[in-house]
Chain A
Amino acid sequence: MKPTDVKDPEYFHKVVDCQYACPAHTPVPEYIRLIAAQRYTDAYMINWESNVFPGVLGRTCDRPCEPACRRSRIEEEPVAICRLKRVAADNKSNVADRLPAIPKEKNGKKIALLGGGPASLTVARDLMPLGYSIDLYDDQPAGGGFMRSQIPAFRLPEEVLNEEVNMILDMGVLTQFNTYVDSLKSILDKGYDAVFVGTGAPRGRDLDLPGRKEADDNIHIGIDWLSSVAFGHTSTVGKRVVVMGGGNTAMDCCRTARRLGGEDVKVVVRSPFDDMKASPWEKEDAMHEGIPILDNHVPQEFVVENGKLKGVVFEKVEAQYDDKGKRTLVPTGEDSVLIECDDVLMAIGQENAFPWIERDIGVEFGKWDMPVVNEVTFQSSNPKVFFGGDAAFGPENVITAVAHGHQAAISIDLFCRGESVDTRPAPGVNLVSQKMGIHEWSYDNAVEDDKRYIVPQAELKQTLSDRKLEVELGFDAQTAFREAQRCLNCDVQTVFAEDRCIECDACIDICPTDCLTFEVNDGEEEQIRQKLKMPANNLAQDLYVSEDLPTGRAMIKDENVCLHCGLCAERCPTAAWDMQKFYYSVTKAGK
């Protein structure tokens, strides 16, 4: 194997599993340490720089970081990263003086943002401090996009959303709410220097089954219905509600229905329970509110009696998987079941729709009638038009939209300055020793045994009777500290200096998780992986291989279950090992 080049910032970045998994690459361990130190405002600002909506994401993020968390490879549960983020947002002090200054004198470039969701707002956040003039168009009466219309208030209080949306709008964004843009050409004709399309995936899927038309009054498209509830147009629902679908929107629909008068609310889903797209914790929350989830039920028809919806007929199926793991739903042969209900909410997916983009203005459309967008620059085939968020590549989530927004802002800035959008800025990287003394580090290197703490919730009776009452109460300071202490500080890297090593084996012997081996580096990676003290079978995790040492062996570290406890460095007599904090930040526009 070739010795590892730790000068490549991506090597250590990958060791910080949570940060690497985050689409916006938020420096998670750094802000978790700040939370433990009760420096909530500092923790908040690190988040805000990176993901723009810490308060929102601390409640609603899809948390790609948590399944990646190293902690879940050494015990059952990852660190509650998402809910710790909320602690920073809940406890921060006024951040007004920490926000970037907005130049009074503009740079003369005008940008249009279409859609007021997280992608567009991120572009505004990154470009306003650079002196751009920005017009934001949205057909709704307030900013936030799907964060406002689809995430129910009992998961995301309006104040939290308003605060973070307004932090950006107050930078001087000219908003044009209640304005549906029906022609991209008309926007381009206004002479903007660049246009960003962040209009999401606004069309909820429908199901064309027998009885669909006749029962139309009582069948609702989930995202439209949620939006109608959010803006106060809908305030009741029937007592018996069937929610069709297995994603997070289905969970939001059923829980909202419980709060609007639904007493017998069921989620009915085609797939097996474990295959459902909804996050496990959202399924748990729904079930906690007395909502059964019936899996392996495929809808067949809407039954209408006397011109009114009576119920939905489902066929029972079971999932069968072929050798490649591909799933087919095979009918079990049991009798179909009729589930009676007053209302049906359909949350079976959503799609992009661009009826308002003319096809002759240089924006090329490809597969599934989606615009052709560069995955790095987010530029379309019309160099002035950029896409991001769900509008770019289909439905994802808030944190992905934010990541898109940052990258699109870089492109827009480069484009407006007449530079190539393909020249991407390198990430900001810092690597600093944490050594304070012989056994003393500037981070808390002790590894705590605590199991994951559960976020307390408000009383069920209260939350079900008030649509806007937030269910989760958030961690208190003490619990937040305990939970923060579960973090393994994966950003504090084990850095090895070959020229100092005397091969005394001290690090090998002390390493609690047997990550280290001195071994002759004479084979391909697969063979080396098997030669180690503990075979390195997690192929997703890299090996850190040194240059050859005097005895002809190399130091080989399997990054997989390293606890970053620093004992290798504490037991090293020559300081060949050192614990160094690696700070990786995605460079933003204009930096």
Chain B
Amino acid sequence: MTYQRPNFRHPNLPVNELGYTRKDYEGALSTLCAGCGHDSISAAIVQACFEMSIEPHKVAKLSGIGCSSKTPTYFLGNSHGFNSVHGRMPSVATGANLANREMIYVGVSGDGDTASIGMGQFTHAVRRNLNMMYVVENNGCYGLTKGQDSATADVGSASKKGEPNPFEPIDLASVALQLGATFVARSFSGDRAQLVPLIKAAISHRGFAFIDVISPCVTFNNNPASTKGYEHVRDHLAATGTVDFVPVKQEITTSYPEGESQEVTLHDGSVVHLQKADPELDINSRRSALRLIKDYKAKDQILTGLLFMDEDSRDLHEIIGTSNKPLRSLNESDLCPGQKVLDNLNESLR
């Protein structure tokens, strides 16, 4: 039995600004089931980071437990990683982020890891507006323990060997919106063209960037009775529009028809451009996003794409006024500024 990937790549692989090819952003060979949606998401992250010319050592990958949480091994093999405890990734991410605000934090979680065991952790990371990309690889079931329904399974959806689910699902995008997330999107692992620009925008966004990605479990939840299988999702897919991510250094060359598009400039100067499919949507409005998610669900459709962005987002560091340098770069004189500073401080408190 062989299970190894050849070292050869296409001889004409393009090179990014750093001189790296896509191969430099790959990870170990996936051990997930053949056809797992999670692998597509890993490939989309690889693609996005390659295209953004991100230096691999500036990325920290964080995850909890589950099929989804295994995936950081399968992308960005040259980046830092922390595979933490079940549902506790947000805490580890918070600690890491506070210690070093200069890194890019990529959190990968699943519907179990986020919507069940990690729900408490997740909500607080959202409301603190932690500067990270938080991807939920949402397949509506517990794939690693043979496909039991998860908290995101729709009412009536049945897995391969399961009964129809009787419980109301948790809609993570809606939850994130209500808790004050400053970037909320939904996508589908089978829609690479949409997912890659969303990931780029999420990475560039300063604050909590949440992407709920529907990612079919081919082994346990890809049957006709499931609402999270490839076929069902494709048949019920609707999009808020086409997202273009225009990096800082690139000139905007595409012309967009007026009234049907919306543009958001990010902190780093890059621009997210949404070519709207539904004129009702206002990406600056939480209410609009929440309403549309409900409206589409009522029509038995899954609304994907960029749902909400807060251009004026202030992340955790800004809110609580932390050191503007990573902790590791603070030296003794930064940490013990001397008697005079202490005296001044004491004086100010008298």
Contact = CB atoms under 8 A, between A and B. Distances in A.
Nearest to A436: B1
B192 A505 contact: yes
Contact of B34 (A561, A563, A573): A573
Nearest to A566: B2
B7 A437 contact: no
B9 interface: yes
Contact of A504 (B1, B5, B9, B190): B190
Interface stretch (B37-45, B99-107, B243-251, B277-285): B37-45
A531 interface: no
A445 B5 CA distance: 10
A509 B43 contact: yes
Given A446-B4, A447-B8, A563-B6, A550 B34 contact: no
Interface stretch (B10-18, B48-56, B299-307): B10-18
A512 B230 CA distance: 24
Interface string A543-584: 000000011000000000101010100111110000000000
B231 interface: yes
A73 interface: yes
A285 interface: no
A505 B216 CA distance: 12
B1 A573 contact: no
B315 to A, nearest CB: 32
Task: Report which residue of B1, B35, B222 has the largest number of chain A beta carbons within 10 angstroms of its beta carbon.
Answer: B35
Contact of A561 (B10, B39, B189, B231): B10
Q: For chain B, give the interface size range.
A: 20 to 34
A444 B6 CA distance: 12
A506 B34 contact: yes
Contacts of B36: 504, 506
Nearest to A440: B1
Interface string B305-337: 000000000000000000000000000000000
28 contacts: A73-B11, A74-B11, A75-B8, A439-B3, A441-B2, A447-B7, A503-B234, A504-B35, A504-B37, A504-B190, A504-B218, A505-B39, A505-B189, A505-B192, A509-B40, A509-B43, A510-B5, A512-B6, A512-B8, A512-B9, A514-B9, A514-B10, A514-B13, A534-B12, A563-B6, A565-B6, A572-B35, A573-B219
Given A75-B8, A565-B5, 18 more contacts: A439-B1, A446-B4, A449-B7, A502-B222, A504-B40, A504-B218, A505-B40, A506-B34, A506-B35, A509-B39, A509-B40, A512-B5, A512-B9, A534-B10, A551-B234, A563-B6, A571-B35, A573-B34
Interface of A: 73-75, 437, 439-441, 444-447, 449, 502-506, 508-510, 512-515, 534-535, 537, 550-551, 561, 563, 565, 567, 570-574
Interface of B: 1-13, 30, 33-37, 39-40, 42-43, 189-190, 192, 216, 218-219, 222, 230-231, 234
Q: Which 9 A-B pairs have the closest CB atoms?
A: A573-B35, A447-B6, A509-B43, A504-B35, A573-B218, A573-B34, A571-B34, A505-B40, A513-B10
